[in-house]
Structure 1
Amino acid sequence: MIKEVEIVCQPGQHQDEDAIKGLAAAAVKTAPKNITAVKILKRSIDARGRKVVYRMQVRVYINEPAPQEHHVVKYPNISLAKPVIIVGAGPAGLFAALQCIKQGLKPIVLERGKDVKQRRRDLANINKQGLINPESNYCFGEGGAGTYSDGKLYTRSTKRGDVNEALKVFTDHGATEDILVDARPHIGTNKLPQIITAIRETIQNAGGEVRFDTKVTRLIVSFDKIKGAELAGGEKVMADALILATGHSARDVFEMLHHQHILIEAKPFALGVRIEHPQEVIDQAQYKCADRGPYLPPSYYSLVEQVDGRGVFSFCMCPGGIIAPCATDFNEIVVNGWSPSKRNNPYANSGTVVQINLEDVPGKEGDPFRLLNFQKQVELAAYQHGGGNLVAPAQRMVDFVEGRVSRDLPVNSYLPGTKSIGLKEVLPKFVHDSLKKALPVFGKKMKGYYTNEAILVGVESRTSSPVKIPRDKETLQHPQVGGLFPCGEGAGYAGGIISAAIDGINCADAAFKYLG
């Protein structure tokens, strides 16, 4: 007999097989000796009551063996198959490449940045010297922005595709199976590079190509159909289908499309700051205890509020994390966050951002760069007020709300350094005012959140792309160019690693149908 039930475990019991077996036996009303196996399907932390507990959805096998599960995908050799160009080696591009192979197509992945190993040197230069390489940074390079910015795999995009199948690709390439059961799965920036490398090797071993330091400067279009891509050195790579998965920060790609009279559109996004607290403040607020102990992970939070009809919300929350400099060009400040797999740093940070709509930004109607230029202006202002070398403008939380420039700043995780500035000098007024109203409200929702121990670091501006590349809902092709498949975050169709991966899979399937 097989039954699926929910069990509730105390912290510590969730790692004890005998305890889980006993709880499962009680739930199905049988003796523990009759339980032959218990498979955990989902696991989450419930901190709503006086005591924090783990809730688990489990499959219980009663007097019968559990089936042996093997999830090893064998990819065919496609070295001589019909090619598909994939521009960008982020999660959308890599998962599109794997799906192309499954469909019997040869992916040719063109990545402007470096492989994960070579990227590390450029990231070290960013953090230690404030030096930006516009082609290799936290956003550009193998694995995209996700590789070195946390690896959170939580998504609400469950209707777009099979989330579990996407997660299994990660476990097939070295991730722990915890990501298959945790409610908020997470790999960690320290472990993602090896996994991304393994995915690339799978693509290459099947006969696909992955080329680094390879920048696409023009799409080759004939009679309104894709025929290939031209590279920075003049080389032409030919194929009848192209998946454009370049991420939300590849501004030159938007300019390239516009120059070629390929339709792009302005898209709403969100902008604000990254807020960092001591992790213990968040733990005490969420777990309602002075010490979370060894069996509870560093806590996260999710906050949202409507301020004068405008959304203000936390975004990309990183328990035990680091604030990272994520600019992709000179003279701009962009911050993001990441966590190692153990989430064992002493700080918790989260983007806290305000919704930006088309009507918020003056400009010519129909200008596709209207919000992108607005984004650029804020990032430039942050750089100028920081004083250079990627030093970021910052302010203590209560000082920000009460309109004081902070006399000093708390020790924080942002390595290039912070400078005390009134952030009203950097942020657009409506963004500043919305945050000013929302933060005390967040403090009422979560005890301890509203404190001058917290630091606001500007600016969190790359929450999503401010430009959308349109596509047909059925064919996923650009409405003007046959065989062009806008894909992932950069095209406006994803918002994280898993949603981008699923979109890559869907675009690969659409390319297969198109090529017949």
Structure 2
Amino acid sequence: MIETIDLILPLEASEDEAAWKAAAAKKLGVPASRVKGVRLLKHSLDARQRAVKVQLRLEVGVDEPLAFEAAPTWSAPALPSQPKTVVIVGCGPAGMFAALRCLELGMKPIVLERGKDASARRFDLAPILRQGTVIEDSNYCFGEGGAGTFSDGKLYTRATKRGPVARVYEILVAHGAPQRILTDAHPHIGSNLLPNVVKAMRGSILEAGGEVRFQTKVVDFLIDGDRLRGVVTAAGDEIAGDAVILATGHSARDIYRLLAEKKVLLERKPFAVGVRIEHPQPFIDAQQYHLKKDEERHELLPAARYAVATKIDDRGVHSFCMCPGGFIVPASTENDEVVVNGMSLARRDSPFANSGLVVTVEPEDTDSFSKEHGILSGIAYQKALEVAAKQAGGGGQVAPGQRVADFIQGRISADLPKTSYFPGGKPAPLHEIMPKGIVERMRTGLKLFDRKIRGYAGKEALLLGFETRTSSPVRIPREDETLEHPELHGLYPCGEGAGYAGGIVSAALDGRRVAEAVAG
């Protein structure tokens, strides 16, 4: 018989298959000799007590071996002679997974990406890191794989009601992602591995009959009455299709402006802004794993992560995109701004831990920008903070910074602690630059979080500004059933940029779902 069981093992035994078999036999009440095979289905840590435990879900073969389980694959049928053509604007997770699903359903995707392929894109990160110069269509946000390619590749999601999360993981593994993402409770790929994964996905799209065009920026829409029939590129090419999936991500502000100019219905939505907070990773390890003074993390334990959240005066204050063993990176898309984000490699072995620390911004909080910017007031709010960060940093991509204790006390830091942020930081009064409502809520939140993680607001904690691209301040509306724009037929808003996702997996799920809607 085949059984599925849950076990809790000490950390030291958690990687030992013989220990799995012995524990499985004991739980099932059978001699160990009858356990002919075990297979890991899920792996998670329980670090609530000093003695860290590992929770395992195992498939167990009793009196018979487990059937061979082939590695995940991806394939698509041959396209029909005259397939439906779908123009997909954006080559991030939403766009790429939409393209793969189109091919599975017999439709031909034409993926248009303003940035470069992942290999060429790497070279364009050097100027922003070393000279502080942003290449505005090829950076940490724009290019093959989207912003997710260089932001750790965290795959944990609560979006399980949006579609088959497991299938998203399987497709990633089929294209070179580590097998462990299928079993880890909080999987991630790492920014050093993701470029090869997205290149392999592009290869699958091309081999199955789709198209992917880089350095192809969309600057206009082809609209006939109430129908969108295609797009116009910066080179002047008109690309028509039976449908247009708009999967441009949350930083393609020119697309929002174009939609507004064309009188396409848009909506304001909540988003969040704040800072990146950085600590020494050994401090986070010590707090989360209950280590004694000078005790090092066990070699089987990953760099510790954390999540903090509260609600203050009807606005959420929370950590966002936490990167254990990671780096803070410049995520600006224009040269008059400074934006920070986080990333980490597969090994997560940087001596620093960083996270976004952000406060919810409701549409009414941006009303002061409405007179000039209308429906795009949230984008203007973001931009004002980013320009202020540039000015406070003093040049290039140097970020304004402040020790947490000084931020709480309302004083400029005399100096800043070491940081993973390559362009560096400059002491600045973040408490004066950010809106008062953000500052007061963040101060209160930091004090609360310091009670949960002792030392969280300590002398080595650094704030760098600003984290503004948590999500889009704009939603492009769509019908609940058809997923088509309610007024402009043929337009299918998709992913984070349209306001329907919040990370790699949820964007991928939305891309698949929208492709299915187009096919329907």
**TM exceeds 0.5?**
yes
Give the alignment partner of residue 444 of structure 1, picking from 451, 475, 482: 451
Could you tell me which amino acid in structure 1 is paired with residue 317 of structure 2?
V
What corresponds to 1:309 in structure 2?
314
User: 1:224-252, CA deviations, whole angstroms, 9 ceiling, x for partnerless residues?
Assistant: 12211111111111111010000000000
Determine if contact 2:402/2:430 at 8 Å carries over to the other structure. yes
- Mapped contact 2:73–2:170 kept (Cα < 8 A): no
Question: Which residue of the partner structure matches residue 4 of structure 1?
Answer: 4
Q: CA deviation at 1:457?
A: 0.4
Look up the match of 2:272.
Answer: 270
Aligned to 2:410: 403
Q: Which residue of 2 aligns with 1:37?
A: 37
In 1, are the aligned partners of 2:400 and 2:427 still within 8 Å (CA)?
A: yes
Unaligned residue ranges in structure 2 (runs of 5+): none
Assess if the C-alpha contact under 8 Å between 2:80 and 2:106 holds in 1.
Answer: no
- Alpha-carbon distance in structure 1 between the residues aligned to 2:365 and 2:76: 48
Greater Cα shift, 441-450 or 235-244: 441-450
The DSSP-based 3-state class of the residue aligned with 1:124 is helix
**CA distance in structure 1 between the partners assigned to 2:80 and 2:322 by the alignment:** 41
Partner in structure 2 of residue 481 of structure 1: 488
Corresponding residue to 1:182 among 179, 184, 191: 184
- Preserved CA contact (<8 Å) 2:47 2:289: yes
1:56 and 2:63 equivalent? no
> Is 1:340 aligned to 2:341, yes or no?
no
Letter of the structure 1 residue corresponding to residue 79 of structure 2: I
Deviation string 1:477-506 (CA, Å, 9 cap, x unpaired) is 001111210000000000000000000000
Is the CA contact (8 Å cut-off) linking 1:95 and 1:505 kept in structure 2? Answer: yes
- What is the match of residue 166 of structure 1? 168
Count of residue pairs the alignment pairs up: 513
Normalising by structure 2, what TM-score?
0.97
User: Contact 1:265–1:367 (CA<8 Å) still a contact in 2?
Assistant: no
Could you say what the CA RMSD is over the residues aligned between the two structures, in angstroms? 1.2
Separation in 1, partners of 2:80, 2:439? 54
2:398 counterpart residue number? 391
- Residue 74 of structure 1 aligns with an amino acid whose one-letter code is S
- Within 5 A, what are the aligned runs for 1:90-239? 90-239=92-241
* Alpha-carbon displacement from aligned partner over 1:442-488 (angstroms, at most 9, x marks no partner): 01011231211010000000000011100001100001111210000
Query: What does residue range 402-421 of structure 1 map to in structure 2 within 5 Å?
Result: 402-421=409-428
149-158 or 76-85, which deviates more = 76-85
Inter-partner Cα distance in structure 2 for 1:300 and 1:168: 25
Distance in 2 of aligned mates of 1:27 and 1:180: 24
Q: Cα offset for 1:79?
A: 7.7
User: Any residues of structure 2 matched to 1:427-506 within 5 Å, and which?
Assistant: 427-506=434-513
Percent pairwise identity: 49
CA distance in 2, matches of 1:482, 1:239: 12
User: TM-score, normalised to structure 1's length?
Assistant: 0.98
Task: Give 4+ residue runs of structure 1 displaced > 6 Å after superposition.
Answer: none
Partner of 2:76: 75
* Structure 1: gaps spanning 5 or more residues: none
Listed one character per residue, the Cα deviations across residues 67-121 of structure 1 (whole Å, up to 9, x for unaligned) are: 2223323222328422110000000000000000000000000000000001111
The answer to whether the 8 Å contact 2:269/2:474 transfers is yes
User: Could you tell which deviates more after superposition, 72-81 or 259-268?
Assistant: 72-81
Q: Please give the secondary structure, in 1, of the residue aligned with 2:229.
A: strand
Partners of 1:485 and 1:310 in 2: CA distance: 31
Q: Which amino acid aligns with 2:15?
A: Q
1:268, distance to aligned residue in structure 2 (A): 1.1
- Name the aligned partner's letter for residue 85 of structure 2: P
- Kindly provide the amino acid, as one letter, of the partner of residue 152 in structure 1: K
2:249 is matched with: 247
The C-alpha deviation readout for 1:179-227, integer Å capped at 9, x for no partner, is 0111100000000000000000000011110000001111212131221
Greater shift, 251-260 or 7-16, is seen at 7-16
Q: Check if 1:291 corresponds to 2:296.
A: yes
1:468 counterpart letter in structure 2: R
Distance 1:34 1:179 in 2: 30
Task: Provide the C-alpha distance between the structure 2 equivalents of 1:78 and 1:426, rounded to a whole number of angstroms.
Answer: 55
Cα separation, 2, equivalents of 1:456 and 1:243: 38
Provide the C-alpha distance between the structure 2 equivalents of 1:158 and 1:253, rounded to a whole number of angstroms. 29
Task: Decide whether the 8 Å contact of 1:79 with 1:106 is kept in 2.
Answer: no
User: Secondary structure of the residue that 2:14 maps to in structure 1?
Assistant: helix
Q: Which moved more, 1:230-239 or 1:492-501?
A: 230-239
Q: Deviations over 1:417-451 (max 9, x none)?
A: 10001112321111111111110110101123121
Counterparts of 1:144 and 1:379, CA distance in 2: 20
Work out the CA distance in 1 between the residues paired with 2:335 and 2:468.
Answer: 15
Aligned mates of 2:307, 2:152 — CA distance in 1: 17
Aligned partners of 2:73 and 2:171 also within 8 Å: no
Write the letter of the residue equivalent to 1:511: V
In structure 2, what is the equivalent of residue 260 of structure 1? Answer: 262
Q: Check conservation: 1:94, 1:199, Cα contact below 8 A.
A: yes
Q: Could you tell which deviates more after superposition, 405-414 or 19-28?
A: 19-28
